[in-house]
Structure 1
Amino acid sequence: MNLIADHIPRLETERLILRAPSEADFEAEAEFFASDAAAFLGGRKSPDETWRFIAQLLGHWAMRGYGFWGVEETNTGTYVGHVGLWYPHSWPEREVGWTLMNHATGKGYATEAAMAARAHAYDVLGWDTAISLIDPDNHASKAVANRLGATLDYHYDHPKFGRTEVWRHPAPADLVNGGMEAYA
């Protein structure tokens, strides 16, 4: 029994399940954080740091009542990344964020999962705006933000990550009614 994970809502899209992060995600996350792909997330992490990162994802849920979900393919159960809502100390605003494992890129999963996360933020949590904080050189993330209708709003000097771009998502009213049907 995991008291935090038991209270994390499960979301489903056409191809994905967004569920509580778990220790079962460790191997895939450790492989990701040992690769060059981790450059846009603060760089490589040791296995110990990766395990602590997963614990941090769960801790955010406990502290804020929302956070990143572990994402898996509906048909195979394969873990593909973590996507969700984020607002730790030093973040300029509440964020919709995404990170896909190396084997899962280029399939539209980040966009699909981020739409579900954003709908949850707007429809369930009542957010009236959301951002995505993106490294200026992370062109793949900028493409996802663009597909989500977000636009570059301003630059932010993050104390750890340096100069970042803040991409503003459309407000709920600009997405018909903010629900999942608005994203189809």
Structure 2
Amino acid sequence: MIVTERLVLTPSAISDFDDCNAMRTDPKVMEFIGGSSLPEDTWIKLLRNVGHWAAFGYGIFTLREKDGGRFVGEVGLAHFHRGMGERFDDFPEGAWALASAAHGKGYGTEALLAVHDWFFERRGKGRTVCLIDPENVPSVRLGERLGYRPFGQADYRGKPMTLFERLP
């Protein structure tokens, strides 16, 4: 668990399903990350996230407001094996999705800075990567605030994407 000024981050759990599903069926959230999900898609991703913790000892955290416990999203570092090659797939990938109600509040920056610090304290500093749709300007800006810089382009699921890296 990680606690920040306004947030509590816990490893993904099966009990997060309803909140995750509500977020993943929100078109505003899903516009740039694959479109609205079916409950089955959410379930598969949640199982992946839970399993990631068992396999690697880190992964995607569930974000909740410290005050009241409202679900605000998911963030973390993981290995998704996207088939992007050794310059990408061999490194921990920063990932985030925030519920609509959490947009524009700085929660993503707050949570992801804490996650990176937590990760590097346990694993040592190293290169991390992320993949962002260049049309998703808020996400690009968040990545840049975290220290990610573009290093390439790739086609992912039929869309041009920007590859970013964060160096120690």
Amino acid corresponding to residue 17 of structure 2 in structure 1: F
Q: Percent identity?
A: 32
1:26 matched residue in structure 2: 17
Task: Report the alpha carbon displacement of residue 150 of structure 1 after superposing the two structures with TM.
Answer: 1.9
Closer, same or farther: CA 142–66 of 1 in aligned 2, 3 Å: same
Q: Does 1:87 align with 2:71?
A: no
2:98 matched residue in structure 1: 100
Q: Does 1:163 align with 2:134?
A: no
Give structure 1 stretches of 5+ with no counterpart.
1-9, 172-184
Amino acid corresponding to residue 81 of structure 1 in structure 2: G
Q: Secondary structure at the match of 2:118?
A: helix
My pick for the range that moved more, 127-136 or 11-20, is 127-136
Name the count of aligned residue pairs: 161
RMSD value over aligned CA atoms? 1.7
Residue pair 1:16, 1:74 contacting (<8 A) in 2 also: yes
Residue pair 2:78, 2:93 contacting (<8 A) in 1 also: yes
- Higher RCO (CA < 8 A, seq sep 6+): 2
My pick for the range that moved more, 134-143 or 25-34, is 25-34
Residue pair 2:80, 2:93 contacting (<8 A) in 1 also: no
Residue pair 2:14, 2:50 contacting (<8 A) in 1 also: no
Amino acid corresponding to residue 164 of structure 2 in structure 1: W
Q: Does 1:59 align with 2:51?
A: yes
Tell me how far apart the structure 2 counterparts of residues 106 and 27 of structure 1 sit (CA, whole Å). Answer: 23
Task: Please report the TM-score for the alignment, with normalisation by the length of structure 1.
Answer: 0.80
TM superposition outliers: structure 1 runs of 4+ over 3 Å: none
Q: Secondary structure at the match of 1:118?
A: helix
Give structure 2 stretches of 5+ with no counterpart.
none
Closer, same or farther: CA 125–24 of 1 in aligned 2, 3 Å: same
Amino acid corresponding to residue 27 of structure 1 in structure 2: D
Q: Where in structure 2 are the equivalents of 1:102-121 lying within 5 Å? A: 102-121=100-119
Tell me how far apart the structure 1 counterparts of residues 152 and 41 of structure 2 sit (CA, whole Å). Answer: 31
